[in-house]
Amino acid sequence: MKSKKKILVTGGAGFIGSHLCSRLLKEGNEVICLDNFFTGSKDNVKHLLDDTNFELVRHDVTFPLYVEVDQIYNLACPASPIHYQFDPVQTTKTSVHGAINMLGLAKRTRARILQASTSEVYGDPEVHPQPESYFGKVNPVGIRSCYDEGKRCAETLFFDYWRQHKVAIRVIRIFNTYGPNMHPNDGRVVSNFIVQALKGQDITIYGDGSQTRSFQYVDDLIDGMIKMMENQEGLIGPVNLGNPDEFTIKALAEKVLEMIPESKSKIVYLPLPSDDPCRRKPDISLAKEKLNWEPKIKLNEGLKKTIDYFRAL
């Protein structure tokens, strides 16, 4: 039997964090869910509030935190371009000061700490698909930089705390993930298209829709995250976690419309935001080899579950 651990999940009331909290509790752990509710909500974790092993704390990671824990999953940070560009200075602070505070906590408590990094560290990549060894092509002064450079700096801090202070780190780079508990106004493409199709609103493709993304269903990500945290081989990463099935944004729009046949929505084309990456697809050889992990849920199956969730809202 696995031993019960005390686990802190920052950003735990967000989309991915709420799934992670549920899973960690189901596995018999105690979970402290920390969130400032900027993009997350109590609704995402309300089914957990009666569990005595669950504690919900309102706190901003840019301020120090004093708790005793065995593990930390550091997810706090808005992830949708619309939300992370709303207050870009706060976004960088959340990534950088948040990392420093959580790494300091890990150092004091000797907790193992996992950073939710992102495929955005590769920027608009010239290498395709992206392996972990690729250093990326990132604009340091653009509208996405607060997120991309904040996350890159957080990775640097993780590796320096590991080299300098021997903190037990794990770093994953998450590729586009979707599923239930995404905010209906989240602004990311999968939730936008589904909500638009269900409401009969125009489906908004930015640019000509030829840019690509590779979409991972949230349950697959949670499996990979826990495998990475628990791996005993000393694999610290960075490790890509994503689904390598690549689609154009236009193909995604068509698929969503096909799966919501009653929809009266039409596709419209809007300007492409600056620095929007042209293509993205993870090379997941490392996760396959070292973690024995690969995603199992195909886009159709994941979209169906996500459409059912938004339909029920």
205's contact among ligand NAD, ligand UDP, none, with CB below 5 to 8 A by partner kind, is ligand UDP
Q: Which of 9, 22, 25, 40 binds ligand NAD (CB under 6 A)?
A: 40
Tell me how far, at minimum, the Cβ of 117 lies from ligand NAD, in Å.
7
- Which residue from 189, 195, 194, 191 is spatially nearest to 209, judged by alpha carbons? 189
220's contact among ligand UDP, ligand NAD, none, with CB below 5 to 8 A by partner kind, is none
Tell me how far, at minimum, the Cβ of 257 lies from ligand NAD, in Å.
22
From start to end of the chain, where are the E strands? 6-10, 30-35, 54-58, 71-74, 112-118, 169-174, 177-178, 203-206, 212-214, 216-217, 239-241, 246-248, 267-270
214's contact among ligand UDP, ligand NAD, none, with CB below 5 to 8 A by partner kind, is none
- Which residue from 237, 41, 294 is spatially nearest to 121, judged by alpha carbons? 237
Nearer to ligand UDP by Cβ, of 279 and 290: the residue is 279
Tell me how far, at minimum, the Cβ of 168 lies from ligand NAD, in Å.
19
67-96 binders of ligand NAD (CB under 6 A):
75-79, 94
70's contact among ligand NAD, ligand UDP, none, with CB below 5 to 8 A by partner kind, is none
Q: Scanning the structure block, which residue is given the tokens 């697959």?
A: 220
Residues that bind ligand UDP (CB under 6 A): 80-81, 176, 188-189, 192, 204-206, 211, 213, 249, 273, 276
Q: Does 13 bind ligand NAD (CB under 6 A)?
A: yes
211's contact among ligand NAD, ligand UDP, none, with CB below 5 to 8 A by partner kind, is ligand UDP
Long-range contacts of range 288-294, CB-CB < 8 Å, 24 or more positions apart?
290/231, 290/233, 290/235, 290/239, 291/224, 291/227, 291/228, 291/231, 291/235, 291/239, 292/227, 293/223, 293/224, 293/227, 293/241
Q: How far is CA 273 from CA 88, 137, 177, 205, in A?
A: 16, 17, 20, 11
**Cβ-contact 52, 25 below 8 angstroms:** no
**Cβ-contact 231, 114 below 8 angstroms:** no
75's contact among ligand UDP, ligand NAD, none, with CB below 5 to 8 A by partner kind, is ligand NAD
Give yes or no: 217 in active site.
no
Q: Which of 29, 118, 240, 306 binds ligand NAD (CB under 6 A)?
A: 118
| C-alpha span between 14 and 278 (Å, rounded) | 27
Nearer to ligand NAD by Cβ, of 5 and 83: the residue is 83
Out of 73, 84, 122, 147, which one is annotated catalytic? 147
124-183 binders of ligand NAD (CB under 6 A):
174, 176-177
| C-alpha span between 311 and 313 (Å, rounded) | 6
- Count of residues engaged in binding ligand NAD, rule: CB under 6 A: 28
**Cβ-contact 195, 261 below 8 angstroms:** no
| C-alpha span between 74 and 95 (Å, rounded) | 9
Q: Does 116 bind ligand NAD (CB under 6 A)?
A: yes
- Contact string 172-191 vs ligand NAD (x = CB under 6 A): --x-xx--------------
Tell me how far, at minimum, the Cβ of 187 lies from ligand UDP, in Å.
6
- Which residue from 89, 13, 3, 115 is spatially nearest to 55, judged by alpha carbons? 13
Q: Give catalytic residue positions.
A: 147
Binding footprint of ligand NAD on the chain (CB under 6 A): 10-11, 13-17, 35-40, 60-62, 75-79, 94, 98, 116, 118, 174, 176-177
